[in-house]
Amino acid sequence: MLTSEERQLCIDALIEANKTKVQTLRPSARYPHITFDDAYAISRGVAMATIDAGAELIGYKVGLTSVAMRRSSKIDEPDYGYLYRHYMQPDGGILKHADYCVPRVELELAFVLGDVLEGPHVNMVDVMRATNYVVPALELIDTRVDEPRKIYDTISDNGAGAGLVLGGNPVRPFDVDLRMVPGILSRNTQIEETGVSAGVMNHPANGIAWLARKLHEIGEKLEKGQILLAGSYVRPIWAQVGDTIHADFGNLGTISIGFE
């Protein structure tokens, strides 16, 4: 377990990396005795400082929702990070590559809540009932810490969250089979990754239910109107200057962004 001073040094380093877009030394290299509790405390510390500086919290992101990714990270549950208003990017927009350290893109579904979700026993059905609509999304992920990262570093670094793009066709949660939403992620017309939404814990609503239960452990809840990224069901792809990233969700439509 880290001391409060050690945690604060990690928080300060990550805040600076977010400002400069220059990677910092990963917390696990700085303090090999770091724990999961430390990592989440660091992530929360960065979030609180970001909000205090004027950012608006609009929701959360869930990561490591696939069994393969959790095994590779040697962790038995997903992780989460924070989403802010300034993270949102327009469908079809051109993003500045220099605004990120090493940007990558993931494909997932976003749940927009119509009611509060809280408690230690939230399940998939609770999530479906509380959701106003589900919309296709791209998540922009970034790495503000150097390699080789451990899971503690990713959690500390906001679960790698760096942005989101909403688009396609919003749907009511019970109007489609949310387990069977296809995903095709392409770069410059070349298909890079494909998947189906059941890859997110057998149903993407399970990712949101896990998040509600996890936040309950620290006395927090998911609020009405929040946007919640349920987790990617394809591997992330790298984005370079000049790339166009295109996501196809079948009947739920498409999203695209470019980098300059």
What is the pTM for the complete model shown?
Answer: 0.95
**Dist CA 222 CA 225 (whole Å):** 9
Tens digits of residue pLDDT in 240-260 = 999 999 999 999 999 999 999
What mean pLDDT is predicted for residues 16-44? 97
Contacts of 134 (CB under 8 A, 6+ apart): 109, 110, 111, 112, 170, 171, 172, 173, 176, 178, 204
Domain range annotation of the chain: 58-259
Residue 71 or residue 94, greater confidence: 94
Least confident of 45-49, 71-75, 200-204: 71-75
Cβ neighbourhood burial of 205 (10 Å; 0-12, 13-18, 19+): buried
Predicted confidence at residue 75, as pLDDT, reads: 65
Fold of 58-259: Fumarylacetoacetate hydrolase; domain 2 (3.90.850)
Contact 127, 115 (CB under 8 A): no
User: What is the Cα–Cα distance from 144 to 124, expressed in whole angstroms?
Assistant: 32
Task: Determine the average pLDDT of the residues in 30-58.
Answer: 97
DSSP 236: -
Average pLDDT, the chain: 95
- CB contact at 8 A, 67 and 74: no
Name the H helices within the chain.
4-20, 27-30, 36-52, 67-73, 124-130, 151-156, 204-216
- The answer to whether residue 149 scores a pLDDT higher than 70 is yes
**3-state SS assignment for residue 87:** helix
Cα 260 to chain center, whole Å?
23
